[in-house]
Each structure stands twice: as C-alpha cells, then as structure tokens.
Structure 1
Amino acid sequence: MCLIAGHVVFSLVAEGHETRRAAIADVLRTEMLKRDRHDPYELQAMTRAVRLLEGDPVQD
C-alpha cells in the first residue's frame, strides 16, 4: 500500500500538482476504474489506501 501511495505522490509532484490527501485519493480512485490493469491485490491495496486517506478505519 505504501509503494502505491508513494508512487502517486511522486507522480503528482513531477507534474507540479498538490499532494494533499484528497488529490492522492482521487488519483487512486481513477486508477481503480482501470480494473483490467491491476491484479486483485493491487486493487485491494488501493481501496485501503483511499479509505485511510479519507480517514475511514480499515478493518481486515
């Protein structure tokens, strides 16, 4: 999950965008729509990252 969020942050910085929680969560949500590009574990990690960024508790 940290690698995914970190990749998003570096991508946002490289493009000159803000790295606020909402921006990171938006990028992850957009990527999650491309289900055919990600395996189930990546999608699960992205979902958890979005929930954490939005302040929702993540429960296993």
Structure 2
Amino acid sequence: MSPGVGFVAICSNDAASHPEDSFGNMKNFAKTHNFPFPYLHDETQAAARAYGAV
C-alpha cells in the first residue's frame, strides 16, 4: 500500500444467522490471509446500512 492511503475491512455479518461468518471467524480468516490492514466489527450493522452493503 502507498503511504497516505489507508484501508480497513469491516465485518457487518450477522453471526446469529451465519455463525460461520462471525467476527471471530472472520478475524481468523484475515490473519490466515495476512490482511495488511485493520479488521473492524460493525456489530449494529450501521456502517453496512450507511454504505448500502447487501
């Protein structure tokens, strides 16, 4: 990544309906695949709604 540009991943998954996509499992996925940026949790799904994620 270039200096001055930042990225984050945001997990907005509903772990109740998709337990395989829980934040814990997705953090492990990010670590396994060496994501070079922070992985955040959108527990209320507010960010997902704000950006129209589906």
TM-score (norm 2): 0.37
TM-score (norm 1): 0.34
The structure in which a higher percent of residues are helix is 1
The structure in which a higher percent of residues are strand is 2
